[in-house]
Every structure is written in C-alpha cells, then in structure tokens.
Amino acid sequence: MEQGFFLSFYQMVHTYRLDQLLELLGGDGSTVGSYDGVIHGIASLEKARAGDLSFLGNPKYRPLVKGSQASVILVPEDYMEGPADGQLLIHTKNPSFALALICRDIESKLLARPATGIHSSAVIEDGAEVSPEASVGAFCFIGAGAKVGSAVLQSHVSVGRSAMIGDGSYLFPHCWVGDYCEIGRRNRLLGGCLIGSDGYGYEFMEGAHQRVPQVGNVVLEDDVDVGANTTIDRARFGSTRIGAGSKLDNQVQIAHNVNVGKHCLIVAQVGISGSTVLEDGVVVGGQAGIAGHLRVGAGAMIAGGTAVVSDVDSGSKVRGYPAMPMMLFNRIAVLQRKLPDLFKRFDQLEKNVKSPIPEPNRPNQ
C-alpha cells in the first residue's frame, strides 16, 4: 500500500512532456527519433522502462544505451548511434548536467519552499531581525542581535547571537550557527551541521592542558553548500572562511582559522587542521587529512585517503601517505605488486651464489 502511494505521487510530480524537457534544458539539446508520450520517471540505462528518462554521463556505460528501454535518453553530442523504435535521443553538451537541470525542477516540487512566517513554537530573542520573507520553522531559536534575510530555517535550527543568515539560504533541520557567524546568500546547510563550534586550542601549562578561548567567527561566502554533520570551527581570532561557490560533503571537519578558497570541492570525512589555506579550485578526495599551517595551491587535487604534511603546489595532483606526486605514487604501486616475484628471484640468486662451485671434470692422465 505504501509503495503504491509513493509511486502514484512520484509519477504525479515527475510527469513531463518532451517540450517541457527541452524548455528546462534551455535550448541545449537536439533530438533524434520520436516519442509522443510523457516521461514519468528517471532510471539508469539498465533499469529504465518505457516512460522513463535516462542519460549517458559516463563513457563506460555507452554499450548500455543500445539495449536500454528508456523512452528518452540524454546523450553526449558525439554519440552517433541511432535510437530504437519509439525512442528519442537528446544530444547535449553535458548529459549529466542536463539531467541536473531537470532534477532542479523536480526538487522544487518535492521540496517546495515553505510558506513565509515564523512558527508559533519558534523563539526569537529581543533585538533579532527576521525578514518578513523568511520562513522560520518549528522550535527554531534566533538569538539577540541576529539578522535573518529571506531564508528558510526548517525545524530545530539554532542561530546564535548577532549571527547573520543571507537571502536565499536554506538551513535544514538541526543546523546550528554559532554567535557572530555569517552565512552568505544562497547557502545550503544540510541537517546536523555545526557552523562556529569552538576551535580545538590548548596550551600545556602548569602540568595541565589549558583551554585557549576561541573568540573569532566563521564566514561562509555566497553559494556555499555544507553537508550533513559537517563541523566548521570558529577562529581563535579573526575568521574561519569558506569561499564563494565551495561545496563541502558530509562529515567534514574544518578547524579554526582555515581559509578555503572559492569553488573548492571537499569530499566526505576530510579533516583540515588549523590555519591551513586552500586556494581557489582545490579538490580534496574523501578521508584525506591535511596538517595545519600549510598552503594548498590553486587547482591542486588531493586524492582520497591522502595525508598532506607539507605545502602543495598549484595545479599539483598528489596521493599517498605521505602525499607525493600522483605519477610517482602510481609507479611505486606498480613496483609494489612486483615485489613478491622480485624477492623470489633475489632469493634464488642468493642461493646460487652461496652454493659450492663444483670441481670441473678432468680427463684421466
């Protein structure tokens, strides 16, 4: 019963005519083939059925296009094979991004912006300013002196004293924004993230670890995404800063006084230690760790699981523990696979060297 209800709702929200799909793509798309029905679902090439939309985003799935039962498939411009009977191919520059444009419209229906206004259970302290265009959900807290623009705060969101939330930002349930922190415009903060938790600072004095107060803040510039349960620590002084357009995945830890540049990508479970600087366009793979007081140059790429313990040059690609140039890491990995055979050969050579040399055969005198 629940599944049937879900499917009917899914189909209701996801029903699109061909002209609607092309409109969402903004003119990026030429068609080959024909399909006169509506699209009521999205599926992978392998699992798609009649009435579904699918896409070819990764070249390794190219062989699956020919056998796919999807009614409409987004394909790259260099895809030359024709469609099956009753199937339509839409050629686009980037099929994955084209699908994202369609999903944006779907998301706007599934996650429609809540009505403006402040829920009766929310607590707004004296001196806080909340835009009449904001939506403040159940059990939210907004501290004294805080300023909230035309943003959405879902349930159980906490905004500290004198904090700022920019227009168009969307804070999911259980987000926590600390005192004096600044959230720019069009930020997207997923559930459980903490912006402005205390930085980790101690000095060992008089036989004990003495806490160093963290009196700075966190600044998120415009168009920043922060994943679920990610923590960004307030600065010891000054600001921990995340640059415009940067995207942080779930469970990322950003320490105090870190400066992340514009349009960086930081994948899940990355840890960045205090006062490190990531310049613009840096990409950090999952579970990588970056030590403190380092500089990672613009456009550098750090592979997942890498331990960065020294500065990284702009445009570099590094991997390993500790980090080393990607090509060197790959060469070492190849050699490591050969080590068992090399040890066997070396062992045999050593045995041959240590074996007594047989006396030569001499003819009888």
Shared domain check, 122 and 81: no
**Tell me, what CATH number does 308's domain have?**
2.160.10.10
Predicted local distance difference test score (pLDDT) of residue 341: 84
Respond yes or no: is residue 293 known to be catalytic. no
Model confidence pLDDT, tens digit, residues 167-203: 999 999 999 999 999 999 999 999 999 999 999 999 9
Q: CB under 8 Å to 358, separation ≥6 — which residues?
A: none
CA distance 302 to 316: 8
**CA of residue 336 relative to chain centroid, distance:** 32
358 inside domain: no
Shared domain check, 128 and 12: no
Query: How confident is the chain (365 residues) per 10-residue block, as mean pLDDT?
Result: 44 76 86 90 92 93 93 93 92 94 87 90 97 97 98 98 98 98 98 96 94 96 98 97 98 98 98 98 97 98 97 96 92 86 81 71 63
Q: Which of 84, 110, 136 is the last residue of a domain?
A: 110
Phi, psi of 328 (to 5 degrees): -65, -45
Q: Which of 58, 76, 110 is the last residue of a domain?
A: 110
What total number of domains does the chain contain? 2
Q: Which of 156, 256, 263, 293 is catalytic?
A: 256
Radius of gyration of the chain (CA): 29
Shared domain check, 133 and 99: no
- Residue 206: half-sphere exposure toward Cβ, Cα within 13 Å: 2
CA distance 249 to 228: 7
**Tell me, what CATH number does 90's domain have?**
3.40.1390.10
Identify residue 129 by its one-letter amino acid code: E
Model confidence pLDDT, tens digit, residues 13-45: 568 999 999 999 987 778 999 998 999 889 999
Asked if 248 and 227 touch (Cβ cutoff 8 Å), the reply is: yes
Q: What is the pTM of this model?
A: 0.84
